[in-house]
Chain A
Amino acid sequence: MGSRSSHAAVIPDADSIRRETGFSQASLLRLHHRFRALDRNKKGYLSRMDLQQIGALAVNPLGDRIIESFFPDGSQQVDFPGFVRVLAHFRPVEDEDTETQDPKKPEPLNSRRNKLHYAFQLYDLDRDGKISRHEMLQVLRLMVGVQVTEEQLENIADRTVQEADEDGDGAVSFVEFTKSLEKMDVEQKMSIRILK
């Protein structure tokens, strides 16, 4: 927390960010405040180190994957628009989003499809659009640590890929991923409500 709270004028491109992410003005201010609190050295952007210092994130088994999701395309810094863009995936789906389905506008970031795409990315380590068996194994290893043997883990990975894979290429594509989760209440499970 700095000695001055965020004013709307301080956030650069506030309007375009609001349109892109759908966050309200108040939520955006809170997130900007948070961004600056995490940016300990006042660099204006966040690095991986800044996110790793959050205790509750560092003990999360998927902490590293979540941090990676903030740095697409191999960049080393994330600025405020990038920060908010990732968080926008977890914005709860409200009625006004489903009403204004303007076909010309791009899909809102918190749509079901985009939420699923975020989850897909957590598995897809090399970002090739497919979750291979090897990638599944690695992510599973992150989640269980040293508690499970290699053999058990391989069994789990094989089963999961086989269940989801439809075209038999030994990997799970995004379409297959979406299909296997079609009954899941994604909107509710992947939403964080920011209190005003």
Chain B
Amino acid sequence: MRGRRCGSLKRRTRLPGVLCIFLSLEVLPKSSFYTHTNKTSSVPETSAVHSAEVSAGLGALLLELPRDCLGTGTAVALGPPLRTSPEWVRRVMEGAELAGKILSTWLTLVLGFILLPSVFGVSLGISEIYMKILVKTLEWATIRIEKGTPKESILKNSASVGIIQRDESPMEKGLSGLRGRDFELSDVFYFSKKGLEAIVEDEVTQRFSSEELVSWNLLTRTNVNFQYISLRLTMVWVLGVIVRYCVLLPLRVTLAFIGISLLVIGTTLVGQLPDSSLKNWLSELVHLTCCRICVRSLSGTIHYHNKQYRPQKGGICVANHTSPIDVLILTTDGCYAMVGQVHGGLMGIIQRAMVKACPHVWFERSEMKDRHLVTKRLKEHIADKKKLPILIFPEGTCINNTSVMMFKKGSFEIGGTIHPVAIKYNPQFGDAFWNSSKYNMVSYLLRMMTSWAIVCDVWYMPPMTREEGEDAVQFANRVKSAIAIQGGLTELPWDGGLKRAKVKDTLKEEQQKNYSKMIVGNGSVS
């Protein structure tokens, strides 16, 4: 029995680490039942060896070291076997002991390979290896899909191309007349055509649902019209599901849990200290560590560009908004003071803890409505040059990362230096957009944690200030254009709030004004 196991041990080391985990997880319950029914004396040894195999498998995944040297070491360190209690109690106790051992080895590994490096801000290169494997797999999958599908159906997937032929001529030309002409019955043609064009296709609605991918990335949720291609592809997909749900998800949930608890505990502890530079340094350390842990819990790979333009103290940082994760991504590289509403529940606990360690600006719901109060508090915050830069998302809502919508002018009226930041996610590895009408926060986080990874680029941009003779709206548009160009996103004049509320009547009045000028002229009526 032992010889067979040793032989199978050797065979398993040649397989990739992922399959090691899978197989050892699968093999473990089978063998322990098998050994229980035979010799009882060898039970603790087999369970010890098996837990060693599991931990060795984990170690192999993370380190890619040979498993034999890890396996033999841990087998020695375990206690005496239980002999006197009845059979089922013994099994339960052994099961519990085993679970305890697995949990402890698991936590040790997590601590060693992920938490400690987060404190110091170093990376062991594990995620890079994972990403390389992932990219190769997805490329292979794309090639298989392209070989498999007929040519016509590939063209259907370009959702960003307009589907109707548009005539973008202005109202005057469309109404086929010169200025000052009178009303005709046929004027209604122009408006009805424009209206129906909007019904068939409009710029805004498509921004509030996830971006369609050109090629499938082996996630069920992005499976738009990709049919069965081959057995191998389906096998890879099944393997992907297993990896994501059984390996990555528990790891990520553990990390997220640790990250959030550390944040709450850490900031509460730091908050007890008196105000000093030590307190600031400690609160920065706590914030950065916890954010790094949380980012690793999502397998986030972030590239920061132009770090020399990172927002300074006393400034306002402005970025496009795709999901709540934007906050995590930005705070991993620097500390910001956040602005937002006070929530209840878990978010409220986190908010209250964070504000003890460093001054964030949280508003009560009633205070949010009073714009002058909000502006006053923010002005006070940035006037104090020692306080951290404020982080604001002027769109006010989550957009699907293909475009930038109207920036609300409130943030640009405060004064001070604006530091624009552009954030662009790579949808191939995981869709970060939070469709708040479709998913609540918990299901959104679960979706994030069962994606392959979150890959994004962050561009810091040179600071901007309001120029002479420029009002807040023009300044906001200028910053919006800069962010859109940098991030490669399209720019839309529409308000992100359109997904919930109706459009303002002022926009309709503009069209009505244009039309009236045409048929009435300068007060002359036929």
Among B192, B494, B509, point to the contact of A122 (Cβ < 8 A): B192
7 nearest A-B residue pairs (beta carbon):
A145-B512, A56-B198, A147-B516, A66-B195, A58-B503, A62-B191, A193-B165
Range class of the A interface residue count: 35 or more
The reply to whether the CB of B442 lies closer than 8 angstroms to some CB of chain A is no
| CB-based contact A4/B212 at 8 Å | no
Tell me how far the C-beta of B257 lies from the nearest C-beta in chain A, rounded to whole angstroms.
29
Among A30, A34, A144, point to the contact of B519 (Cβ < 8 A): A144
How many residues on chain B are close to A (CB under 8 Å)?
Answer: 60
What chain B residues lie within 8 Å of A45 (beta carbons)? none
Nearest chain B residue, comparing its CB with the CB of A58: B503
| CB-based contact A180/B185 at 8 Å | yes
| CB-based contact B198/A5 at 8 Å | no
| CB-based contact B202/A55 at 8 Å | yes
Could you jot down 13 A-B contacts, CB within 8 Å?
A3-B222, A5-B224, A37-B206, A54-B205, A55-B494, A55-B498, A55-B507, A59-B508, A66-B191, A87-B200, A119-B185, A122-B192, A143-B187
Tell me how far the C-beta of A86 lies from the nearest C-beta in chain B, rounded to whole angstroms.
8
What chain A residues lie within 8 Å of B520 (beta carbons)? 144, 147-148, 152
A3-B223 contact given A66-B195, A192-B193, A193-B164, CB 8 Å threshold:
yes
What chain A residues lie within 8 Å of B437 (beta carbons)? 40
Tell me how far the C-beta of A189 lies from the nearest C-beta in chain B, rounded to whole angstroms.
4
The reply to whether the CB of B203 lies closer than 8 angstroms to some CB of chain A is yes
What chain A residues lie within 8 Å of B508 (beta carbons)? 58-61, 63, 145
| CB-based contact B196/A87 at 8 Å | yes
A90-B205 contact given A3-B222, A145-B516, CB 8 Å threshold:
no
Separation of A39 and B161 alpha carbons in the complex (Å): 21
What chain B residues lie within 8 Å of A54 (beta carbons)? 198-199, 202, 204-205
| CB-based contact A156/B224 at 8 Å | no
Tell me how far the C-beta of B153 lies from the nearest C-beta in chain A, rounded to whole angstroms.
10
Most buried by B among A1, A61, A90: A61
Tell me how far the C-beta of B195 lies from the nearest C-beta in chain A, rounded to whole angstroms.
4
The reply to whether the CB of B210 lies closer than 8 angstroms to some CB of chain A is yes
| CB-based contact B188/A147 at 8 Å | no
| CB-based contact A143/B515 at 8 Å | yes
The reply to whether the CB of B106 lies closer than 8 angstroms to some CB of chain A is no
What chain B residues lie within 8 Å of A56 (beta carbons)? 194, 197-198, 202-204
Nearest chain A residue, comparing its CB with the CB of B512: A145
| CB-based contact A62/B186 at 8 Å | no
A63-B498 contact given A155-B525, A192-B200, CB 8 Å threshold:
no
| CB-based contact B191/A1 at 8 Å | no
The reply to whether the CB of B159 lies closer than 8 angstroms to some CB of chain A is yes
What chain B residues lie within 8 Å of A155 (beta carbons)? 525-526
| CB-based contact A66/B196 at 8 Å | yes
